Amino acid sequence: MSQSSQIINDMSIQFATVNGSGSQSANNIITKGIFRMGIPVGPKNLFPSNIQGLPTWYTIRVSKDGYRARKKELDWVVCMNPDTLVEDVNSVQPGGVVVYNTDILPKGYTPTRKDVIYYPVPFTSLARDKVKDVKLRKMLVNVLYVGVLTELLSLDLEVIKGVIKDTFASKPKAIDANVEALEAGINYAKENLKKQDNYRLEKMDENKGLFLSDGNQLAALGSVMGGCTVCAWYPITPSSSLCESFIAFTEKHRQDGKGTKNVGIIQAEDELASLEMVLGAGWAGARAMTATSGPGVSLMGEFAGLAYFAEIPAVIFDVQRMGPSTGLPTRTCQADILQAVTLSHGDKRHPIIIPGGAEEAYEFARISFDVAEQLQQLVFVMLDLDLGMNIWNCQQLPYPTDGFKRGKVLTAEQLEKTKDWGRYKDVDGDGVCYRTLPGTDHARAAYFTRGTGHTEYATYSEKPEDWQKNIERLNKKWTTALKYVPKPVVDDKGHKVGIIAYGTTDLCMRESRDQMKREHNLDADYLRIRSVPFHDEVKAFFEKHDRVYVIDQNRDGQMEQLLRMNYTEGRITDKIRSVRHYNGMPLDARTVTDAILSFEKGNAR
């Protein structure tokens, strides 16, 4: 094999296993091993809505160029699931590699594709021979494939061993058992498999300052660092781990030695109660949040309207999954965007903040409490399953030095100096009024909060002019919000074509733009929306480009619709081209590139 034909640090590997068989730990070892070798790596877990028994896939993108999104084409597959084995063998692209367990072949089936390379390994019997502990055997069969790949792809053995040591730091026996299985896999490959493919992994130095974590965990950390003191939640995939991480962080960092807590957490009876508790806490002055997914957001509708109208700060993390209805609970999408902005009946609008990656999952969670308290409004932080539950590369997070911005809250002392306080009086002209908290020891502090019509002094009113004035003042907050929500990120080099995307789509955008340049000589500028309402930069981006592609991970082009609602002039809406992805898989560059180029090829440039 000639040196030049080698493919170094550029591939995708997919592991096909059975849910609940313990493959997660093996897959993490490989991911972290590649990461510690300094090679850019992006893993995605494609798992079923099930605890044990259904097929599950884990795919790893390795790229010397730093592309970390899922690669549409599969270069390698590791087949460990008899139920999907045929499908998995067929999923590899021509020239690819198939590692398969010869002990689980469906009756009468032998892999016969001529355009791929096979590495047959009797994993089940090998495990029986090499793993003495029967209980561990089922788990460690997966570590055998880590060993085989270590040998075939030249993974650094010491690095892999180090990962195993760290992974099982609290269980020394597990370290030995894992290392033994690893070595058994390596030895089997050495003795029985002849390297026929061109793929290789080599150390690089591209992961300096990075760590690996998932968005839910980072959003939980951001909530802790954002001063959130109340969390009420109801378990729902894919958001549960956000609250569970919040619990774990606060167990460690928000209590004294005796168990007294600087945080109040309730697992509520349903999503109605979780948002209502959050609103009760926000009303009484605490920074409060809940995390949920689409079905939970639907249930929270009534209270979102109350939050808007009664002007209560609160944060909802919506970790989006495929809907409608129960949908695909373990598949990703961006299909709650319209629902979040417009949740509840009547006139209302809620600001949403959309992190595009790991750093922003942390940072936007942290600042969302400032935004909510400064606006006295409900704020959504829109994650999705891909960001929330998959492992992302994250830059070292800076330690926050800016204080909490608690918004307009009057103390008893300040109230004493204020002659004419009205809870809903817009004295600053920004739509945001001064509030007092229950428990303020002053005769004039109390006011009556209600979801019904009210005057500036919080008294009940059905007068048309009171209603209209109030609902118009509330609308001012939409403009005021622009001061607090994150601006878009713009990469504008003055080209004719522009692309607008948001959230996790960002992960594949650099690669996709490189592909467009390479394959069609198309230079496209790029704007990433990070919040609704839209800043002026979004409009300017439309003004400056001939055609603007808006990428949505939903069927109906929800962000596109929001843009059309916002910019009604034909000279802007005529420029919009909608690209939509909605099969539940994390978006890949090829899909975006093909969609945009198919438009472009029919267009004069």
Partner 1 sequence: MSADTPTPAAEPTNRSGFVKNAYEGLPSTLCSGCGHDSITRHIISGYWELGVNPHFVAKLSGIGCSSKTPAYFLREAHGFNTVHGRMPSVAAGAKLANNKLHLIGVSGDGDTASIGMGQFVHMVRRNLEIVYIVENNGVYGLTKGQFSATADIGSVLKKGEVNELPDIDVCTMAIQLGCNYVARSFSGDAKQMVPLMKGAISHNGTAMLDVVSPCVTFNNHEGSTRSFTAVKANDVPLHDLGFHPYFQTPEVELKPGEEREVELPDGSVIRMKKLAADYDPTDRMRAIATIAEAKAKGQLLTGLLYVNTKQNKPMVEHLKLTGTPLHALGEKECLIPQDAFEKIQNRWR
Q: Please list every residue from 389 through 448 that binds partner 1, using CB under 8 A.
A: 394, 396-397, 399-400, 403-404, 436-443, 445-448
Q: Is residue 239 within the footprint of partner 1 (CB under 8 A)? A: no
- 108: left (phi > 0), else alpha (psi -120 to 50), else beta? left
- Number of chain residues interacting with partner 1 (CB under 8 A): 73
Q: Is residue 346 within the footprint of partner 1 (CB under 8 A)? A: no
Among 253, 463, 496, 555, indicate the residue that binds partner 1 (CB under 8 A): 253
**Shortest CA distance to 286 belongs to which of 276, 278, 296?**
278
Q: Is residue 249 within the footprint of partner 1 (CB under 8 A)? A: yes
* Region from 4-12, 176-184, 207-215, 347-355 binding partner 1, contact rule CB under 8 A: 207-215
- Residue 74 or residue 299: which is nearer to partner 1 going by CB? 299
Q: Is residue 302 within the footprint of partner 1 (CB under 8 A)? A: yes
Question: Hey, what amino acid is at 408?
Answer: K
Whether omega before 533 lies within 30 degrees of 0, making that bond cis, reads yes
> Mind spelling out the 3-state secondary structure of 553-584?
CCCCCHHHHHHHHHCCCHHHHCCEEEEECCCC
Helix (H, G, I), strand (E, B) or coil at 145: helix
The minimum distance between CB 230 and partner 1, in angstroms, equals: 5
CA 195 centroid distance within chain: 38
Among 227, 327, 422, 584, indicate the residue that binds partner 1 (CB under 8 A): 227
* Region from 184-192, 275-283, 378-386, 511-519 binding partner 1, contact rule CB under 8 A: 275-283
| Helix axis angle, 157-167 to 23-36, nearest 10° | 130
> 479 - beta bridge partners?
none
* Region from 76-84, 194-202, 265-273, 568-576 binding partner 1, contact rule CB under 8 A: 265-273
* Region from 48-56, 180-188, 259-267, 477-485 binding partner 1, contact rule CB under 8 A: 259-267
Helix (H, G, I), strand (E, B) or coil at 499: strand
Both structure tokens of 588: 């890949």
DSSP conformation letters of 313-382: -EEEEEEE-B-STT-BTTS---TTHHHHHH-SSSS----EE---SHHHHHHHHHHHHHHHHHHTSEEEEE
The minimum distance between CB 293 and partner 1, in angstroms, equals: 20
* Region from 7-15, 58-66, 261-269, 464-472 binding partner 1, contact rule CB under 8 A: 261-269
- Residue 221 or residue 589: which is nearer to partner 1 going by CB? 221
- Residue 249 or residue 582: which is nearer to partner 1 going by CB? 249
Q: Is residue 206 within the footprint of partner 1 (CB under 8 A)? A: no
Q: Is residue 36 within the footprint of partner 1 (CB under 8 A)? A: yes
**Shortest CA distance to 436 belongs to which of 454, 421, 452?**
421
The minimum distance between CB 477 and partner 1, in angstroms, equals: 21
Among 16, 221, 415, 589, indicate the residue that binds partner 1 (CB under 8 A): 221
Both structure tokens of 427: 């004295």
The minimum distance between CB 543 and partner 1, in angstroms, equals: 41
Burial of 244 (0-12, 13-18, 19+ CB in 10 A): middle
Among 27, 45, 63, 229, indicate the residue that binds partner 1 (CB under 8 A): 229
Q: Is residue 307 within the footprint of partner 1 (CB under 8 A)? A: no
The minimum distance between CB 269 and partner 1, in angstroms, equals: 4
- Residue 136 or residue 279: which is nearer to partner 1 going by CB? 279
Contact 77, 402 (CB under 8 A): no
Alpha-carbon distance of 29 to 23, in angstroms, equals: 10
Q: Is residue 120 within the footprint of partner 1 (CB under 8 A)? A: no
Among 79, 181, 279, 365, indicate the residue that binds partner 1 (CB under 8 A): 279
Question: DSSP class of residue 454?
Answer: B
Q: Where are the alpha helices (DSSP H) in 495-551?
A: 509-520, 536-544
Binding to partner 1 (CB under 8 A) within 505-524 occurs at none
Sign for the pseudo-dihedral over CA of 93, 98, 103, 107: positive
The minimum distance between CB 253 and partner 1, in angstroms, equals: 5
Q: Is residue 247 within the footprint of partner 1 (CB under 8 A)? A: no
- Residue 306 or residue 589: which is nearer to partner 1 going by CB? 306
Alpha-carbon distance of 520 to 597, in angstroms, equals: 8
Q: Where are the alpha helices (DSSP H) in 95-214?
A: 123-130, 134-153, 157-167, 172-192
CB-side neighbour CA atoms (13 Å) of 368: 37
| Lookup result for tokens 């080698």 | 6
Q: Mark residues 528-547: x for contact with partner 1 by CB under 8 A, - for none.
A: --------------------
C-alpha distances (whole Å) from 302 to each of 276, 291, 344 are 10, 17, 5
Contact 318, 295 (CB under 8 A): no
> 56 - beta bridge partners?
17
Question: DSSP class of residue 5?
Answer: G
- Residue 346 or residue 494: which is nearer to partner 1 going by CB? 346
Q: Is residue 264 within the footprint of partner 1 (CB under 8 A)? A: yes
Q: Is residue 451 within the footprint of partner 1 (CB under 8 A)? A: yes
The minimum distance between CB 182 and partner 1, in angstroms, equals: 21
Among 276, 336, 370, 560, indicate the residue that binds partner 1 (CB under 8 A): 276
- Residue 58 or residue 283: which is nearer to partner 1 going by CB? 283
Among 145, 188, 246, 283, indicate the residue that binds partner 1 (CB under 8 A): 283
Q: Is residue 527 within the footprint of partner 1 (CB under 8 A)? A: no
* Region from 14-22, 76-84, 271-279, 378-386 binding partner 1, contact rule CB under 8 A: 271-279
Q: Is residue 259 within the footprint of partner 1 (CB under 8 A)? A: yes
- Residue 265 or residue 489: which is nearer to partner 1 going by CB? 265
* Region from 11-19, 254-262, 322-330, 345-353 binding partner 1, contact rule CB under 8 A: 254-262
* Region from 104-112, 139-147, 209-217, 479-487 binding partner 1, contact rule CB under 8 A: 209-217
Among 452, 475, 479, 603, indicate the residue that binds partner 1 (CB under 8 A): 452
Burial of 332 (0-12, 13-18, 19+ CB in 10 A): buried
- Residue 285 or residue 486: which is nearer to partner 1 going by CB? 285
